[in-house]
Structure 1
């Protein structure tokens, strides 16, 4: 029983850390590699993702925290 609860908690933590990101050209990318990042690091990472997907650097990125 303890193993099941622990596994469920680990899986839930993995799901919570993933989020969709809509690039400036409309592509939606599922971002999962930001655990432990600061907000500035996440913003820089998302700018990099946007550049890779669209070939442009966005003017700004707005992050919403729930």
Structure 2
């Protein structure tokens, strides 16, 4: 299963999560970030499940900070 291999990821990882996600609870994002060594988790204010569509500017800012 893919989830079993998350601990093998060595790349810097950012888990973005829509603050208003109605499909998956924030705890799912927490678990994903916790499973990847050194991963950071960040909420996207005002975004739902489709954060890049809901809040594209906020997602872009988060990604720009992450890749800087």
Q: State TM-score, norm by structure 1.
A: 0.29
Structure with the larger RCO, 1 or 2 (CA within 8 Å, 6+ apart): 2
Larger CA Rg, structure 1 vs 2? 1
